Structure 1
Protein backbone atom coordinates (compact mmCIF):
# COMPACT_ATOMS: atom_id res chain seq x y z
CA UNK A 1 0.00 0.00 0.00
CA UNK A 2 3.00 2.31 0.34
CA UNK A 3 2.93 2.88 -3.40
CA UNK A 4 -0.74 3.85 -3.48
CA UNK A 5 -1.22 7.44 -4.54
CA UNK A 6 -2.68 9.52 -1.69
CA UNK A 7 -1.01 12.88 -2.29
CA UNK A 8 -2.19 14.91 -5.28
CA UNK A 9 -1.00 17.84 -7.34
CA UNK A 10 -3.30 20.73 -8.22
CA UNK A 11 -3.52 19.26 -11.73
CA UNK A 12 -4.76 16.00 -10.22
CA UNK A 13 -7.48 17.91 -8.37
CA UNK A 14 -8.46 19.63 -11.61
CA UNK A 15 -8.77 16.27 -13.36
CA UNK A 16 -10.75 14.67 -10.54
CA UNK A 17 -13.11 17.56 -9.78
CA UNK A 18 -13.47 19.28 -13.15
CA UNK A 19 -12.52 22.62 -11.52
CA UNK A 20 -9.69 24.39 -13.31
CA UNK A 21 -6.41 24.70 -11.41
CA UNK A 22 -6.54 28.48 -11.84
CA UNK A 23 -9.98 28.55 -10.17
CA UNK A 24 -8.78 26.31 -7.33
CA UNK A 25 -5.91 28.74 -6.66
CA UNK A 26 -8.36 31.69 -6.59
CA UNK A 27 -10.68 29.83 -4.20
CA UNK A 28 -7.71 29.14 -1.93
CA UNK A 29 -6.40 32.70 -2.00
CA UNK A 30 -9.72 34.53 -1.66
CA UNK A 31 -11.75 32.11 0.43
CA UNK A 32 -9.24 29.76 2.09
CA UNK A 33 -11.37 26.73 1.19
CA UNK A 34 -8.33 24.43 0.96
CA UNK A 35 -5.03 24.45 2.83
CA UNK A 36 -2.47 22.68 0.64
CA UNK A 37 0.83 21.37 1.83
CA UNK A 38 3.90 22.90 0.22
CA UNK A 39 7.14 21.37 -1.01
CA UNK A 40 10.51 23.01 -0.46
CA UNK A 41 10.03 24.62 -3.88
CA UNK A 42 6.55 25.90 -2.90
CA UNK A 43 4.59 23.45 -5.06
CA UNK A 44 1.07 22.73 -3.80
CA UNK A 45 0.24 19.17 -2.67
CA UNK A 46 -3.15 17.93 -1.46
CA UNK A 47 -4.38 15.06 0.71
CA UNK A 48 -7.34 12.75 0.17
CA UNK A 49 -9.22 14.85 2.73
CA UNK A 50 -8.68 17.95 0.59
CA UNK A 51 -9.89 16.05 -2.47
CA UNK A 52 -13.06 14.97 -0.65
CA UNK A 53 -13.71 18.54 0.48
CA UNK A 54 -13.21 19.92 -3.03
CA UNK A 55 -15.62 17.35 -4.50
CA UNK A 56 -18.24 18.36 -1.91
CA UNK A 57 -17.65 22.06 -2.62
CA UNK A 58 -17.97 21.36 -6.34
CA UNK A 59 -21.32 19.65 -5.80
CA UNK A 60 -22.66 22.59 -3.78
CA UNK A 61 -21.34 25.02 -6.39
CA UNK A 62 -23.07 23.05 -9.14
CA UNK A 63 -26.33 23.32 -7.20
CA UNK A 64 -26.15 27.11 -7.05
CA UNK A 65 -24.24 27.88 -3.86
CA UNK A 66 -21.76 30.74 -4.25
CA UNK A 67 -18.18 29.92 -3.32
CA UNK A 68 -18.11 33.01 -1.06
CA UNK A 69 -20.98 31.47 0.92
CA UNK A 70 -19.57 27.94 0.92
CA UNK A 71 -16.31 29.26 2.38
CA UNK A 72 -18.16 30.40 5.52
CA UNK A 73 -19.52 26.90 6.20
CA UNK A 74 -17.86 24.43 8.54
CA UNK A 75 -16.92 21.03 7.12
CA UNK A 76 -19.84 19.56 9.08
CA UNK A 77 -22.21 22.07 7.46
CA UNK A 78 -20.84 21.27 4.00
CA UNK A 79 -21.38 17.55 4.58
CA UNK A 80 -24.90 18.20 5.87
CA UNK A 81 -25.81 20.25 2.78
CA UNK A 82 -24.34 17.62 0.48
CA UNK A 83 -26.44 14.93 2.18
CA UNK A 84 -29.52 17.09 1.67
CA UNK A 85 -28.80 17.46 -2.02
CA UNK A 86 -28.10 13.79 -2.61
CA UNK A 87 -31.42 12.81 -1.06
CA UNK A 88 -33.00 13.98 -4.31
CA UNK A 89 -33.37 11.67 -7.30
CA UNK A 90 -31.13 13.83 -9.48
CA UNK A 91 -27.88 12.75 -7.87
CA UNK A 92 -25.76 11.42 -10.73
CA UNK A 93 -22.91 13.86 -10.08
CA UNK A 94 -22.77 12.96 -6.41
CA UNK A 95 -22.77 9.24 -7.18
CA UNK A 96 -19.88 9.66 -9.62
CA UNK A 97 -17.95 11.69 -7.03
CA UNK A 98 -18.68 9.07 -4.37
CA UNK A 99 -17.50 6.26 -6.64
CA UNK A 100 -14.33 8.24 -7.42
CA UNK A 101 -13.66 8.67 -3.70
CA UNK A 102 -14.28 4.96 -3.19
CA UNK A 103 -11.72 4.32 -5.90
CA UNK A 104 -9.14 6.73 -4.48
CA UNK A 105 -9.52 5.25 -0.96
CA UNK A 106 -9.92 1.63 -2.14
CA UNK A 107 -13.14 1.75 -0.12
CA UNK A 108 -15.44 -1.13 -1.05
CA UNK A 109 -17.98 -0.16 1.62
CA UNK A 110 -18.45 3.32 0.13
CA UNK A 111 -18.88 1.78 -3.31
CA UNK A 112 -21.51 -0.67 -2.02
CA UNK A 113 -23.38 1.95 -0.02
CA UNK A 114 -23.50 4.33 -3.01
CA UNK A 115 -24.63 1.56 -5.35
CA UNK A 116 -27.36 0.37 -2.96
CA UNK A 117 -28.54 3.96 -2.50
CA UNK A 118 -28.83 4.38 -6.27
CA UNK A 119 -30.65 1.07 -6.51
CA UNK A 120 -33.46 2.45 -4.33
CA UNK A 121 -34.47 4.77 -7.19
CA UNK A 122 -32.97 3.26 -10.35
CA UNK A 123 -32.76 -0.06 -12.14
CA UNK A 124 -29.40 -1.71 -12.74
CA UNK A 125 -29.58 -0.71 -16.42
CA UNK A 126 -30.20 2.92 -15.48
CA UNK A 127 -27.29 2.90 -13.02
CA UNK A 128 -24.98 1.45 -15.65
CA UNK A 129 -25.90 3.89 -18.42
CA UNK A 130 -26.37 7.01 -16.30
CA UNK A 131 -23.56 6.54 -13.77
CA UNK A 132 -21.13 3.73 -14.58
CA UNK A 133 -20.62 4.68 -18.24
CA UNK A 134 -19.69 8.34 -17.57
CA UNK A 135 -17.67 7.20 -14.53
CA UNK A 136 -15.57 4.82 -16.62
CA UNK A 137 -15.10 7.49 -19.29
CA UNK A 138 -13.76 9.84 -16.62
CA UNK A 139 -11.55 7.12 -15.18
CA UNK A 140 -10.07 6.47 -18.62
CA UNK A 141 -9.05 10.13 -18.83
CA UNK A 142 -7.72 10.11 -15.25
CA UNK A 143 -5.57 7.09 -16.06
CA UNK A 144 -4.22 8.70 -19.23
CA UNK A 145 -3.19 11.82 -17.28
CA UNK A 146 -1.51 9.78 -14.50
CA UNK A 147 -3.98 11.13 -11.94
CA UNK A 148 -4.75 7.56 -10.88
CA UNK A 149 -2.74 4.34 -10.98
CA UNK A 150 -3.70 1.09 -12.73
CA UNK A 151 -4.53 -0.25 -9.25
CA UNK A 152 -7.27 2.37 -8.87
CA UNK A 153 -8.74 1.54 -12.27
CA UNK A 154 -8.66 -2.21 -11.64
CA UNK A 155 -10.25 -1.82 -8.20
CA UNK A 156 -13.29 0.11 -9.40
CA UNK A 157 -13.61 -1.96 -12.60
CA UNK A 158 -13.69 -5.21 -10.63
CA UNK A 159 -16.41 -3.87 -8.34
CA UNK A 160 -18.54 -2.85 -11.34
CA UNK A 161 -17.91 -6.22 -12.98
CA UNK A 162 -19.20 -7.96 -9.84
CA UNK A 163 -22.48 -6.05 -10.17
CA UNK A 164 -22.74 -7.00 -13.85
CA UNK A 165 -22.15 -10.67 -13.02
CA UNK A 166 -24.72 -10.67 -10.19
CA UNK A 167 -27.37 -9.20 -12.47
CA UNK A 168 -26.44 -11.48 -15.37
CA UNK A 169 -26.72 -14.55 -13.14
CA UNK A 170 -30.35 -13.65 -12.44
CA UNK A 171 -31.31 -13.96 -16.11
CA UNK A 172 -28.79 -16.24 -17.81
CA UNK A 173 -30.65 -19.50 -17.12
CA UNK A 174 -33.72 -18.35 -19.03
CA UNK A 175 -34.37 -20.18 -22.29
CA UNK A 176 -33.69 -17.83 -25.26
CA UNK A 177 -36.90 -16.58 -26.83
CA UNK A 178 -35.36 -15.15 -30.01
CA UNK A 179 -33.79 -17.44 -32.57
CA UNK A 180 -33.11 -15.14 -35.54
CA UNK A 181 -29.43 -14.88 -34.56
CA UNK A 182 -26.83 -16.02 -32.05
CA UNK A 183 -24.24 -13.64 -30.62
CA UNK A 184 -20.58 -14.59 -30.09
CA UNK A 185 -18.79 -12.16 -27.77
CA UNK A 186 -15.01 -11.99 -27.59
CA UNK A 187 -12.03 -9.67 -27.22
CA UNK A 188 -8.94 -9.51 -29.47
CA UNK A 189 -5.56 -10.85 -28.45
CA UNK A 190 -4.01 -8.90 -25.54
CA UNK A 191 -7.23 -6.95 -24.94
CA UNK A 192 -7.98 -7.18 -21.20
CA UNK A 193 -10.74 -4.57 -20.77
CA UNK A 194 -13.71 -6.91 -20.42
CA UNK A 195 -16.19 -4.74 -18.53
CA UNK A 196 -18.03 -3.38 -21.57
CA UNK A 197 -18.28 -6.80 -23.20
CA UNK A 198 -19.68 -8.28 -19.98
CA UNK A 199 -22.38 -5.63 -19.84
CA UNK A 200 -23.33 -6.23 -23.47
CA UNK A 201 -23.64 -9.92 -22.63
CA UNK A 202 -26.15 -8.93 -19.92
CA UNK A 203 -28.14 -6.72 -22.33
CA UNK A 204 -28.25 -9.30 -25.12
CA UNK A 205 -29.28 -12.14 -22.79
CA UNK A 206 -31.95 -9.91 -21.21
CA UNK A 207 -33.40 -9.34 -24.68
CA UNK A 208 -33.89 -13.09 -25.17
CA UNK A 209 -30.94 -14.04 -27.38
CA UNK A 210 -28.49 -16.89 -27.02
CA UNK A 211 -24.95 -15.69 -26.29
CA UNK A 212 -21.70 -17.58 -26.62
CA UNK A 213 -19.40 -15.66 -24.31
CA UNK A 214 -15.71 -16.31 -25.04
CA UNK A 215 -14.12 -13.35 -23.24
CA UNK A 216 -10.60 -12.06 -23.70
CA UNK A 217 -7.65 -13.12 -25.84
CA UNK A 218 -9.48 -14.83 -28.70
CA UNK A 219 -7.56 -15.20 -31.99
CA UNK A 220 -9.73 -14.59 -35.05
CA UNK A 221 -8.92 -18.06 -36.39
CA UNK A 222 -10.43 -19.66 -33.29
CA UNK A 223 -13.79 -18.03 -33.96
CA UNK A 224 -14.34 -19.62 -37.36
CA UNK A 225 -15.52 -22.92 -35.93
CA UNK A 226 -18.57 -21.23 -34.39
CA UNK A 227 -20.04 -20.78 -37.89
CA UNK A 228 -20.42 -24.56 -38.13
CA UNK A 229 -22.72 -24.56 -35.12
CA UNK A 230 -24.79 -21.39 -35.42
CA UNK A 231 -26.54 -19.61 -38.28
CA UNK A 232 -27.20 -16.67 -38.48
CA UNK A 233 -24.38 -15.48 -36.24
CA UNK A 234 -23.08 -12.11 -34.99
CA UNK A 235 -19.45 -11.82 -33.93
CA UNK A 236 -19.26 -8.93 -31.45
CA UNK A 237 -15.92 -7.53 -30.29
CA UNK A 238 -14.95 -4.63 -28.01
CA UNK A 239 -11.78 -2.76 -29.05
CA UNK A 240 -10.37 -0.63 -26.24
CA UNK A 241 -6.55 -0.90 -26.43
CA UNK A 242 -6.12 -3.70 -28.95
CA UNK A 243 -5.40 -4.10 -31.79
CA UNK A 244 -2.88 -1.27 -31.99
CA UNK A 245 -4.28 1.84 -33.58
CA UNK A 246 -1.96 1.62 -36.60
CA UNK A 247 -3.28 -1.81 -37.59
CA UNK A 248 -6.94 -1.57 -36.61
CA UNK A 249 -8.07 -1.53 -40.25
CA UNK A 250 -5.94 -4.60 -40.98
CA UNK A 251 -7.56 -6.31 -38.01
CA UNK A 252 -11.07 -5.54 -39.27
CA UNK A 253 -10.11 -6.78 -42.74
CA UNK A 254 -8.81 -10.03 -41.23
CA UNK A 255 -12.03 -10.51 -39.26
CA UNK A 256 -14.06 -9.89 -42.41
CA UNK A 257 -12.05 -12.36 -44.50
CA UNK A 258 -12.20 -15.10 -41.86
CA UNK A 259 -15.69 -14.70 -40.41
CA UNK A 260 -18.11 -13.14 -42.90
CA UNK A 261 -20.33 -15.10 -45.26
CA UNK A 262 -23.10 -17.65 -44.66
CA UNK A 263 -25.32 -15.22 -42.68
CA UNK A 264 -22.55 -13.92 -40.45
CA UNK A 265 -22.15 -10.33 -39.26
CA UNK A 266 -19.43 -8.49 -37.34
CA UNK A 267 -20.32 -5.85 -34.77
CA UNK A 268 -17.54 -3.66 -33.37
CA UNK A 269 -17.52 -1.17 -30.51
CA UNK A 270 -14.90 0.54 -28.34
CA UNK A 271 -12.47 3.44 -28.30
CA UNK A 272 -10.39 2.16 -31.22
CA UNK A 273 -13.33 1.97 -33.62
CA UNK A 274 -13.03 5.72 -34.25
CA UNK A 275 -9.90 4.87 -36.25
CA UNK A 276 -11.69 2.43 -38.55
CA UNK A 277 -12.01 3.66 -42.12
CA UNK A 278 -15.72 3.14 -42.74
CA UNK A 279 -15.14 3.30 -46.50
CA UNK A 280 -13.11 0.09 -46.32
CA UNK A 281 -15.45 -2.13 -44.32
CA UNK A 282 -17.92 -4.65 -45.71
CA UNK A 283 -21.67 -4.08 -45.46
CA UNK A 284 -21.95 -6.88 -42.90
CA UNK A 285 -19.58 -5.07 -40.53
CA UNK A 286 -21.30 -2.61 -38.21
CA UNK A 287 -19.43 -0.07 -36.07
CA UNK A 288 -21.12 1.45 -33.00
CA UNK A 289 -20.21 4.68 -31.25
CA UNK A 290 -21.65 3.75 -27.86
CA UNK A 291 -23.14 0.94 -25.82
CA UNK A 292 -26.53 2.64 -26.05
CA UNK A 293 -26.37 2.68 -29.86
CA UNK A 294 -25.50 -1.00 -29.95
CA UNK A 295 -28.23 -1.98 -27.47
CA UNK A 296 -30.81 -0.17 -29.62
CA UNK A 297 -29.74 -2.30 -32.60
CA UNK A 298 -30.13 -5.64 -30.80
Structure 2
Protein backbone atom coordinates (compact mmCIF):
# COMPACT_ATOMS: atom_id res chain seq x y z
CA UNK A 1 0.00 0.00 0.00
CA UNK A 2 1.30 3.46 -0.92
CA UNK A 3 1.82 5.65 2.14
CA UNK A 4 2.85 9.26 2.71
CA UNK A 5 4.29 10.99 5.75
CA UNK A 6 2.97 14.31 7.06
CA UNK A 7 5.98 16.10 5.53
CA UNK A 8 5.38 14.52 2.13
CA UNK A 9 1.68 15.44 2.19
CA UNK A 10 2.64 19.02 3.11
CA UNK A 11 5.01 19.25 0.13
CA UNK A 12 2.57 17.71 -2.32
CA UNK A 13 -0.66 19.47 -1.26
CA UNK A 14 0.60 22.72 0.28
CA UNK A 15 -1.51 22.01 3.40
CA UNK A 16 0.49 22.47 6.60
CA UNK A 17 0.96 19.66 9.09
CA UNK A 18 -0.57 21.86 11.78
CA UNK A 19 -3.73 22.28 9.74
CA UNK A 20 -3.87 18.56 8.98
CA UNK A 21 -3.80 17.76 12.69
CA UNK A 22 -6.59 20.25 13.39
CA UNK A 23 -8.74 18.78 10.64
CA UNK A 24 -8.07 15.29 11.92
CA UNK A 25 -9.37 16.22 15.38
CA UNK A 26 -12.40 18.19 14.23
CA UNK A 27 -13.72 16.43 11.15
CA UNK A 28 -14.50 12.88 10.15
CA UNK A 29 -13.34 13.05 6.52
CA UNK A 30 -9.66 12.73 7.46
CA UNK A 31 -8.50 9.70 9.42
CA UNK A 32 -4.82 8.99 8.82
CA UNK A 33 -3.47 5.63 9.81
CA UNK A 34 -0.63 5.13 12.28
CA UNK A 35 2.47 2.98 12.37
CA UNK A 36 3.16 0.62 15.29
CA UNK A 37 5.21 3.48 16.77
CA UNK A 38 2.18 5.83 16.53
CA UNK A 39 3.49 7.94 13.62
CA UNK A 40 0.66 9.07 11.36
CA UNK A 41 0.72 8.39 7.64
CA UNK A 42 -1.67 8.88 4.72
CA UNK A 43 -2.77 6.53 1.94
CA UNK A 44 -2.99 7.35 -1.77
CA UNK A 45 -6.75 7.87 -1.37
CA UNK A 46 -6.08 10.27 1.53
CA UNK A 47 -3.67 12.18 -0.69
CA UNK A 48 -6.18 12.50 -3.54
CA UNK A 49 -8.81 13.69 -1.08
CA UNK A 50 -6.48 16.30 0.43
CA UNK A 51 -5.49 17.63 -3.00
CA UNK A 52 -9.20 18.15 -3.70
CA UNK A 53 -9.83 19.70 -0.28
CA UNK A 54 -6.93 22.09 -0.84
CA UNK A 55 -8.48 23.27 -4.12
CA UNK A 56 -11.86 23.85 -2.45
CA UNK A 57 -10.44 25.78 0.53
CA UNK A 58 -8.42 28.04 -1.78
CA UNK A 59 -11.71 28.99 -3.43
CA UNK A 60 -13.33 30.05 -0.19
CA UNK A 61 -15.14 26.85 0.76
CA UNK A 62 -15.23 26.49 4.52
CA UNK A 63 -13.58 23.36 5.83
CA UNK A 64 -16.55 22.77 8.14
CA UNK A 65 -18.78 22.55 5.07
CA UNK A 66 -16.30 20.39 3.14
CA UNK A 67 -16.08 18.05 6.12
CA UNK A 68 -19.78 17.25 5.83
CA UNK A 69 -19.48 16.14 2.18
CA UNK A 70 -18.81 12.66 0.88
CA UNK A 71 -15.66 12.01 -1.16
CA UNK A 72 -17.80 11.83 -4.29
CA UNK A 73 -19.42 15.21 -3.54
CA UNK A 74 -15.99 16.74 -2.92
CA UNK A 75 -14.72 15.41 -6.25
CA UNK A 76 -17.78 16.77 -8.07
CA UNK A 77 -17.32 20.24 -6.56
CA UNK A 78 -13.68 20.23 -7.61
CA UNK A 79 -14.60 19.16 -11.12
CA UNK A 80 -17.04 22.06 -11.35
CA UNK A 81 -14.31 24.46 -10.24
CA UNK A 82 -11.74 23.13 -12.66
CA UNK A 83 -14.00 23.73 -15.64
CA UNK A 84 -13.88 27.41 -14.73
CA UNK A 85 -11.31 29.54 -16.58
CA UNK A 86 -10.53 31.49 -13.37
CA UNK A 87 -8.51 28.76 -11.70
CA UNK A 88 -4.99 29.74 -10.60
CA UNK A 89 -1.63 28.03 -11.00
CA UNK A 90 -1.90 26.32 -7.62
CA UNK A 91 -5.22 24.74 -8.63
CA UNK A 92 -3.75 23.61 -11.92
CA UNK A 93 -0.66 22.13 -10.25
CA UNK A 94 -2.96 20.20 -7.91
CA UNK A 95 -4.98 18.98 -10.88
CA UNK A 96 -1.85 17.82 -12.65
CA UNK A 97 -0.90 15.93 -9.49
CA UNK A 98 -4.22 14.11 -9.70
CA UNK A 99 -3.64 13.37 -13.38
CA UNK A 100 -0.31 11.75 -12.51
CA UNK A 101 -1.72 9.66 -9.66
CA UNK A 102 -4.76 8.54 -11.68
CA UNK A 103 -3.11 8.13 -15.12
CA UNK A 104 -5.61 10.70 -16.41
CA UNK A 105 -4.29 11.96 -19.75
CA UNK A 106 -7.46 13.92 -20.55
CA UNK A 107 -7.19 15.90 -17.32
CA UNK A 108 -3.52 16.62 -18.00
CA UNK A 109 -4.21 17.78 -21.56
CA UNK A 110 -7.18 19.95 -20.52
CA UNK A 111 -5.20 21.73 -17.80
CA UNK A 112 -2.15 22.17 -20.02
CA UNK A 113 -4.15 23.49 -22.99
CA UNK A 114 -6.14 25.93 -20.85
CA UNK A 115 -2.97 27.37 -19.35
CA UNK A 116 -1.35 27.49 -22.78
CA UNK A 117 -4.20 29.61 -24.17
CA UNK A 118 -4.21 31.81 -21.07
CA UNK A 119 -0.50 32.44 -20.62
CA UNK A 120 1.50 31.12 -23.57
CA UNK A 121 3.95 28.23 -23.62
CA UNK A 122 6.86 29.84 -21.77
CA UNK A 123 4.73 30.88 -18.78
CA UNK A 124 3.03 27.48 -18.82
CA UNK A 125 6.43 25.81 -18.52
CA UNK A 126 7.96 28.16 -15.94
CA UNK A 127 4.89 28.75 -13.76
CA UNK A 128 3.01 25.45 -14.10
CA UNK A 129 5.05 22.52 -15.41
CA UNK A 130 8.29 23.29 -13.55
CA UNK A 131 6.71 23.62 -10.07
CA UNK A 132 4.50 20.63 -10.84
CA UNK A 133 7.54 18.49 -11.64
CA UNK A 134 9.21 19.70 -8.43
CA UNK A 135 6.19 18.59 -6.45
CA UNK A 136 6.04 15.24 -8.21
CA UNK A 137 9.74 14.95 -7.40
CA UNK A 138 8.78 14.72 -3.73
CA UNK A 139 6.86 11.57 -4.59
CA UNK A 140 9.53 10.17 -6.91
CA UNK A 141 12.29 10.72 -4.33
CA UNK A 142 10.22 8.99 -1.67
CA UNK A 143 9.40 6.11 -4.06
CA UNK A 144 5.71 6.97 -3.78
CA UNK A 145 5.16 6.94 -7.53
CA UNK A 146 5.40 3.61 -9.28
CA UNK A 147 7.60 3.53 -12.42
CA UNK A 148 4.62 3.41 -14.76
CA UNK A 149 3.26 6.65 -13.26
CA UNK A 150 6.66 8.29 -13.65
CA UNK A 151 6.89 7.22 -17.29
CA UNK A 152 3.29 8.26 -17.91
CA UNK A 153 3.61 11.85 -16.71
CA UNK A 154 7.19 12.31 -18.00
CA UNK A 155 6.22 11.30 -21.51
CA UNK A 156 3.16 13.55 -21.55
CA UNK A 157 5.31 16.56 -20.62
CA UNK A 158 8.07 15.44 -23.00
CA UNK A 159 5.64 15.31 -25.93
CA UNK A 160 4.45 18.87 -25.23
CA UNK A 161 7.97 20.26 -24.97
CA UNK A 162 9.39 18.55 -28.06
CA UNK A 163 6.39 19.65 -30.11
CA UNK A 164 6.86 23.24 -28.98
CA UNK A 165 10.62 23.18 -29.59
CA UNK A 166 9.98 22.07 -33.17
CA UNK A 167 7.63 25.00 -33.68
CA UNK A 168 10.20 27.66 -32.68
CA UNK A 169 11.89 29.82 -35.29
CA UNK A 170 15.46 29.06 -36.29
CA UNK A 171 18.00 31.31 -34.52
CA UNK A 172 19.80 34.10 -36.34
CA UNK A 173 23.16 33.23 -37.88
CA UNK A 174 24.96 35.34 -35.26
CA UNK A 175 22.92 34.07 -32.31
CA UNK A 176 24.75 33.15 -29.09
CA UNK A 177 25.49 29.43 -28.84
CA UNK A 178 25.13 26.93 -26.01
CA UNK A 179 25.67 23.20 -25.60
CA UNK A 180 23.19 21.19 -23.49
CA UNK A 181 23.98 17.74 -22.14
CA UNK A 182 23.78 15.42 -19.14
CA UNK A 183 26.94 13.87 -17.72
CA UNK A 184 27.35 10.12 -17.58
CA UNK A 185 25.14 8.68 -14.84
CA UNK A 186 22.44 11.30 -15.37
CA UNK A 187 19.25 9.88 -16.90
CA UNK A 188 16.50 12.44 -16.13
CA UNK A 189 16.37 14.36 -19.39
CA UNK A 190 13.10 16.25 -18.92
CA UNK A 191 14.59 19.29 -17.09
CA UNK A 192 17.18 19.58 -19.86
CA UNK A 193 14.43 19.59 -22.48
CA UNK A 194 12.68 22.37 -20.57
CA UNK A 195 15.93 24.34 -20.56
CA UNK A 196 16.33 23.70 -24.29
CA UNK A 197 12.92 25.21 -25.03
CA UNK A 198 13.54 28.24 -22.82
CA UNK A 199 16.95 28.93 -24.36
CA UNK A 200 15.78 28.46 -27.94
CA UNK A 201 12.79 30.69 -27.23
CA UNK A 202 15.27 33.41 -26.22
CA UNK A 203 16.86 33.17 -29.68
CA UNK A 204 19.96 31.14 -28.82
CA UNK A 205 21.39 28.38 -31.01
CA UNK A 206 21.24 25.15 -28.98
CA UNK A 207 23.40 22.09 -29.53
CA UNK A 208 21.51 19.33 -27.73
CA UNK A 209 23.35 16.10 -26.85
CA UNK A 210 20.88 14.57 -24.37
CA UNK A 211 21.65 12.20 -21.51
CA UNK A 212 24.63 10.08 -20.42
CA UNK A 213 27.17 11.88 -22.62
CA UNK A 214 30.85 10.86 -22.19
CA UNK A 215 33.14 13.75 -21.24
CA UNK A 216 35.36 13.22 -24.29
CA UNK A 217 32.37 13.77 -26.59
CA UNK A 218 31.45 16.96 -24.74
CA UNK A 219 34.97 18.36 -25.00
CA UNK A 220 35.24 17.39 -28.68
CA UNK A 221 32.13 19.27 -29.80
CA UNK A 222 33.01 22.31 -27.64
CA UNK A 223 36.40 22.60 -29.36
CA UNK A 224 35.11 21.73 -32.82
CA UNK A 225 32.31 24.34 -32.73
CA UNK A 226 34.10 26.78 -30.39
CA UNK A 227 31.04 26.87 -28.10
CA UNK A 228 31.48 29.39 -25.24
CA UNK A 229 28.62 28.31 -22.95
CA UNK A 230 27.42 24.89 -21.81
CA UNK A 231 24.67 23.73 -19.46
CA UNK A 232 23.97 20.53 -17.59
CA UNK A 233 21.49 19.26 -15.00
CA UNK A 234 22.58 17.42 -11.86
CA UNK A 235 20.01 15.15 -10.22
CA UNK A 236 21.81 11.89 -9.39
CA UNK A 237 23.58 11.58 -6.00
CA UNK A 238 27.14 11.26 -7.33
CA UNK A 239 28.86 14.43 -6.10
CA UNK A 240 32.44 13.12 -6.20
CA UNK A 241 32.08 11.77 -9.73
CA UNK A 242 30.38 14.94 -10.98
CA UNK A 243 33.00 17.14 -9.32
CA UNK A 244 35.78 15.31 -11.15
CA UNK A 245 33.94 15.52 -14.47
CA UNK A 246 33.35 19.24 -14.08
CA UNK A 247 36.95 19.98 -13.09
CA UNK A 248 38.13 17.96 -16.12
CA UNK A 249 35.71 19.88 -18.37
CA UNK A 250 36.83 23.26 -17.07
CA UNK A 251 40.53 22.39 -17.27
CA UNK A 252 40.22 21.18 -20.89
CA UNK A 253 38.05 23.99 -22.27
CA UNK A 254 37.37 27.72 -21.87
CA UNK A 255 33.61 27.39 -21.44
CA UNK A 256 31.24 29.00 -19.00
CA UNK A 257 29.29 26.16 -17.34
CA UNK A 258 25.72 26.62 -16.11
CA UNK A 259 24.42 24.01 -13.66
CA UNK A 260 20.94 23.37 -12.35
CA UNK A 261 19.00 20.55 -10.71
CA UNK A 262 18.98 19.05 -7.23
CA UNK A 263 20.72 21.46 -4.83
CA UNK A 264 21.91 18.69 -2.52
CA UNK A 265 23.60 16.88 -5.42
CA UNK A 266 25.32 19.88 -7.03
CA UNK A 267 28.95 20.26 -5.87
CA UNK A 268 30.04 23.60 -4.41
CA UNK A 269 31.84 25.65 -7.04
CA UNK A 270 31.54 29.11 -5.47
CA UNK A 271 35.24 29.77 -6.04
CA UNK A 272 35.06 29.05 -9.77
CA UNK A 273 34.06 32.07 -11.82
CA UNK A 274 33.44 29.88 -14.86
CA UNK A 275 30.67 27.90 -13.11
CA UNK A 276 27.21 29.32 -12.34
CA UNK A 277 24.24 27.66 -10.64
CA UNK A 278 20.64 28.60 -11.48
CA UNK A 279 17.79 27.33 -9.32
CA UNK A 280 14.78 27.67 -11.62
CA UNK A 281 13.73 28.73 -15.13
CA UNK A 282 13.39 32.41 -14.21
CA UNK A 283 16.96 32.50 -12.88
CA UNK A 284 18.11 30.78 -16.06
CA UNK A 285 16.40 33.41 -18.22
CA UNK A 286 17.96 36.24 -16.21
CA UNK A 287 21.40 34.64 -16.34
CA UNK A 288 21.24 34.16 -20.11
CA UNK A 289 20.18 37.78 -20.61
CA UNK A 290 23.24 38.86 -18.60
CA UNK A 291 25.54 36.65 -20.68
CA UNK A 292 24.04 37.90 -23.93
CA UNK A 293 24.59 41.52 -22.90
CA UNK A 294 28.27 41.11 -22.05
State TM-score, norm by structure 1.
Answer: 0.81
> How far off its partner does 1:256 sit?
0.2
Residues 80 and 102 of structure 1: is their aligned pair in 2 closer, same or farther, counting only changes over 3 Å?
Answer: closer
How many Å separate the matches in 1 of 2:36 and 2:250?
A: 59
Stretch of structure 1 that moved more, 174-183 or 195-204: 174-183
For 2:140, which of 117, 134, 143 is the aligned residue?
143
Q: Match of 2:202?
A: 207
Q: Secondary structure at the match of 2:118?
A: coil
Stretch of structure 1 that moved more, 103-112 or 214-223: 103-112
Residues 183 and 35 of structure 1: is their aligned pair in 2 closer, same or farther, counting only changes over 3 Å?
Answer: same
How many Å separate the matches in 2 of 1:37 and 1:274?
A: 36
Q: Is the 8 A contact 2:219 2:249 kept in 1?
A: no
Q: Is the 8 A contact 1:85 1:91 kept in 2?
A: no
Q: Note if 1:54 corresponds to 2:50.
A: yes
Q: What are the within-5 Å matches in structure 2 for residues 107-122 of structure 1? A: 107-122=104-119
Residues 259 and 121 of structure 1: is their aligned pair in 2 closer, same or farther, counting only changes over 3 Å?
Answer: same
Q: Secondary structure at the match of 2:235?
A: coil
Residues 14 and 225 of structure 1: is their aligned pair in 2 closer, same or farther, counting only changes over 3 Å?
Answer: closer
How many Å separate the matches in 1 of 2:17 and 2:287?
A: 42
Larger Rg: 1
Q: Is the 8 A contact 2:177 2:204 kept in 1?
A: yes
Residues 180 and 41 of structure 1: is their aligned pair in 2 closer, same or farther, counting only changes over 3 Å?
Answer: closer
Stretch of structure 1 that moved more, 265-274 or 94-103: 265-274
Stretch of structure 1 that moved more, 33-42 or 48-57: 33-42
Q: Match of 2:28?
A: 32
How many Å separate the matches in 2 of 1:103 and 1:78?
A: 19
Residues 42 and 246 of structure 1: is their aligned pair in 2 closer, same or farther, counting only changes over 3 Å?
Answer: closer
CA deviations over 1:237-278 (Å, ceiling 9, x no partner): 111216x12344333211101222xxx332222225753231
> How far off its partner does 1:83 sit?
4.3
For 1:294, which of 275, 284, 292 is the aligned residue?
284
Please provide the CA RMSD for this pair.
3.1
Number of residue equivalences: 285
How many Å separate the matches in 1 of 2:136 and 2:21?
A: 24
